Structure 1
Amino acid sequence: MTSRATFAAAMAATLVLGTPLAAQATPWTAVSVWATTADQNKLLTPLPGAVFGRGTPSGPTITIDETKRYQSMTGFGASFTDSSAWLVANSPQRDAIMTKLFDPRRGIGLDFLRQPIGASDFSRSLFSYDNGSADPTLSRFSVAHDQDYILPVLRQALRLNPQTTVMATPWSAPDWMKTSGSMIGGSVRTDDQTLRAYADYLVKFVQAYGKAGVPVSLLSPQNEPEYSPADYPGATMTAADQARFIGDYLGPALRSAGLRTGILAYDHNWDDTTYPSTVLADAKAAQYTAGVAWHCYGGNPDAQSTVHDAFPRKDAYFTECSGSQSANHANTFADSLDWQTEHLIIGGTRNWAKSVVTWNVALDPSGGPTMHCTTCTGAVTVDNTTGSATYNAEYYVLGQASKFVKPGAVRIDSNTFGPGNVEDVAFRNPDGSTALVVLNADATNARTFNVSAHGRSFSYALPAKAVATFTWR
């Protein structure tokens, strides 16, 4: 707790980041503040706090209303792709990297992992768990490929943060199940034997990972089903075909195996609400579908609310967004910090997302190993030639939330001032603490605002493109 002497000293300070602007009469509750700035001068840095006090605030005010509650949070995280896992597992800084990523006390406490089922575009080789000639009984099925470095880093993450949720997603079915005869291109064949085998394949994966100490809580049938890449694993799957696969094959197979793994539909961009709505409108598929997974590469996060409003009993999860050195919103640390905080942490959760998940946990300085994107960025850049590890904007974007918003936290009501201004989102944690994430999205000017809750308030200032998390009990 901040002492009154510390509070008084902060009030006397000049107007800088981390400086409360006006003393309130009768101090009430101390507020801790952690911030990241666009110039990287502050990187999840604890700053002089504030104190709620009496008085009527003047000027822009974020008003917290804990009586209005929305979704409960599952977690924040990224993906241990084959490439990411290999880099981290072989880094001389492995334990330090894992601690900074997953330890809730000594790191940022990431608590959600979305794992590819087989190869993705960030893999060192093309692999599934049953490639080769047709094998409808899955007699060859094995996750042996993952035993060397993927499963070990996943188990380490779970040891560091036992509250971590694991989701799994295939980029492609095994080659013999595909119309292309390859993990690249085509789609899953739609005959009964193939669809039963594919459902059993996914069930076997969940079972194998569970036996290996990595329980899978969520599963989507296909990554980005509306896109068939030409140079890495992928497959198209129509909304009607996905509804049929979930309702007639995958859902019953999971249930028959006694697994409680939830199914998420779609797992693609914000720019199409028709696809997930089609799946959820199918009565047979809907009974097995827990919600919808979303990506950031097209459209806006309000698409999540469009589908949620039509199907309010189904959850929304945000499951993938990669920074890119060539994209307008991610060509610098400052741009990534601003865009991802605005669209993912704030926009995603204000539109019902129970998770915020970026893409690769780690990539090398060349953006690899990769089959496709050479400009993508991970939360950490791992250079095993020099033995170094650099923490990127994604790490701090996630950390401004994951370190303070715990699994089971409930989003509570708060007003925001819109794009290009002060934006925010608030949560009530299971332990009764409140976490408020605030972004000054103004590109050039510092912004001053008030925070009001329970009839008390404090004032604060943030420089351009800075993000701060305020916590209090």
Structure 2
Amino acid sequence: MAGTAFHCYYGDPSAQSTLHDRFPDKGIWFTECSGSRSPDDPPAKVFRETLTWHSRNVVLGTMRNWARSTANWNIALDSTGGPHNGGCGTCTGLVTVQADGTVTTDAEYYAIGHLAKFVKPGARRIASTSFGTTGWNGQIMDVAFRNPDGSTALVVHNENDAPRSFAVTLGDRTFEYSLPGGALATFVWPASKLLDSKARLHSPRERNRDRVSRTAAGACRDRRRRRRALVRRDALRNRSSALPCHRLEPARLAGWKALRDYSTGTASGPADQRTPPDAMSGQGSSPLGCADARIGGGPDTKGREPRCTEGHRLGSFSRCWPRSTLSAPVRTS
């Protein structure tokens, strides 16, 4: 047995995927679905409801669930839904032949046309994100194909009554489109070597792993935000690491072995834990451990050289130190 045929009169297209998961070596064909109408429905209502239902179920639902074909029944009927042979009295066809011989196209004609015209024989479905459901949830639903000539066809349906905007990304190319409520549209672009490695082809043995995710535009926007945040963080780090220390280029905390207390002249604490007076007093210490020369005995706000009061002299760190203290710290090699 080659596989199984499905009709649309009962159940949901997802049953095709259930069957495929159990028998991945067998084919699935969708072979029949006829539209119908109520005798009192106006033509506009019949057209819209038929178009939206067939778009979700016959065009997209069957193809997203491993069907190798899809079909409408009947091709042509007269204005009374005939000829009748004991069958459906309210069914509709792709076209209607009027009494005067003219032909009008029905919703089924346009729905199936999005596949028949743009998806060529031998095409294979490729992975694409889709947010809609066959039961209707008001979102964007789609299916994509790779034709034998390498071109790509993307069929998109807006389940909502209001217009919906979406973005399509394949490889490094992106475009955006606003689809009217209830509309069905197909986008086709030619083959390109830049896109070959970006689209994953579905083989008959491959499980359906399409993942519902945010739109490509939303994902790209998130990536840009993360990159900007990292750039800002790195810029702050680089700016901090490049902060100049006035006259104190080598004065980093880790580079000093010992310091005399600037007020008593005695050693304060273990040698490996001693810090410059600025850091101990909380004055003029920067995040890098450099004393701020503008505080204490450093240059004033106008940039003039410091002057020390009596009993003090200008020492290391550009501060005024008591004359009884060491004039410079001992730096280890």
| TM-score of the two chains, using structure 2 as the length reference | 0.53
Q: Which amino acid aligns with 2:18?
A: T
2:74–2:92 CA contact under 8 A, matched in 1: yes
SS at match of 1:401: helix
Counterparts of 1:237-248 in structure 2, within 5 Å, are none
- Check if 1:292 corresponds to 2:9: no
Name the structure 1 match of 2:170. 453
Name the structure 1 match of 2:154. 436
The equivalent position to 2:25 in structure 1, one of 313, 324, 327, is 313
Unaligned 5+ residue runs, structure 2?
A: 191-333
The equivalent position to 1:369 in structure 2, one of 72, 78, 83, is 83
Q: Distance in 1 between matches of 2:45 and 2:80?
A: 15
2:157–2:183 CA contact under 8 A, matched in 1: yes
- The alpha-carbon deviation at position 331 of structure 1 amounts to 5.4
Q: Which amino acid aligns with 1:314?
A: K
The equivalent position to 1:416 in structure 2, one of 130, 139, 153, is 130
- The alpha-carbon deviation at position 417 of structure 1 amounts to 1.1
Q: Distance in 2 between matches of 1:368 and 1:387?
A: 14
Name the structure 2 match of 1:338. 52
Q: Distance in 2 between matches of 1:376 and 1:358?
A: 11
Counterparts of 1:198-209 in structure 2, within 5 Å, are none
Name the structure 2 match of 1:469. 186
1:451–1:458 CA contact under 8 A, matched in 2: yes
- Check if 1:304 corresponds to 2:9: no
Considering only CA atoms, is the larger Rg found in Structure 1 or Structure 2?
2
Unaligned 5+ residue runs, structure 1?
A: 1-288
Counterparts of 1:22-421 in structure 2, within 5 Å, are 289-326=1-38, 332-370=46-84, 371-383=86-98, 385-419=99-133, 420-421=138-139
- The alpha-carbon deviation at position 380 of structure 1 amounts to 0.6
Percent sequence identity over matched residues?
A: 55
CA displacement 1:298-344 (0-9 Å, x = unmatched) = 1100000111110000011001110001299x951111111101111
4+ long deviations beyond 4 Å? none
CA displacement 1:206-243 (0-9 Å, x = unmatched) = xxxxxxxxxxxxxxxxxxxxxxxxxxxxxxxxxxxxxx
Tell me which of the two structures has the higher relative contact order, counting C-alpha pairs closer than 8 angstroms and 6 or more residues apart: 1
1:362–1:378 CA contact under 8 A, matched in 2: yes
Q: Distance in 2 between matches of 1:411 and 1:430?
A: 11
2:132–2:159 CA contact under 8 A, matched in 1: no
Q: Distance in 1 between matches of 2:119 and 2:19?
A: 25
Q: Distance in 2 between matches of 1:295 and 1:372?
A: 16
Give the number of the structure whose residues are more often strand, by fraction: 1
Q: Distance in 1 between matches of 2:70 and 2:59?
A: 7
Q: Which amino acid aligns with 1:427?
A: F
- The alpha-carbon deviation at position 452 of structure 1 amounts to 0.3
| TM-score of the two chains, using structure 1 as the length reference | 0.38
Q: Distance in 2 between matches of 1:336 and 1:423?
A: 16
1:324–1:331 CA contact under 8 A, matched in 2: no
Q: Distance in 1 between matches of 2:176 and 2:37?
A: 36
Q: CA RMSD in A?
A: 1.5
SS at match of 2:127: strand
CA displacement 1:255-281 (0-9 Å, x = unmatched) = xxxxxxxxxxxxxxxxxxxxxxxxxxx
Q: Distance in 2 between matches of 1:326 and 1:400?
A: 26
1:411–1:425 CA contact under 8 A, matched in 2: yes
Q: Distance in 1 between matches of 2:140 and 2:67?
A: 20
- The alpha-carbon deviation at position 418 of structure 1 amounts to 2.2
Q: Distance in 2 between matches of 1:418 and 1:372?
A: 33
CA displacement 1:353-411 (0-9 Å, x = unmatched) = 0111011100000000112211000001012x301101100100010111000110000
2:140–2:164 CA contact under 8 A, matched in 1: yes
Q: Which amino acid aligns with 2:152?
A: T
Q: Distance in 1 between matches of 2:47 and 2:29?
A: 25
- The alpha-carbon deviation at position 468 of structure 1 amounts to 0.5
CA displacement 1:125-171 (0-9 Å, x = unmatched) = xxxxxxxxxxxxxxxxxxxxxxxxxxxxxxxxxxxxxxxxxxxxxxx
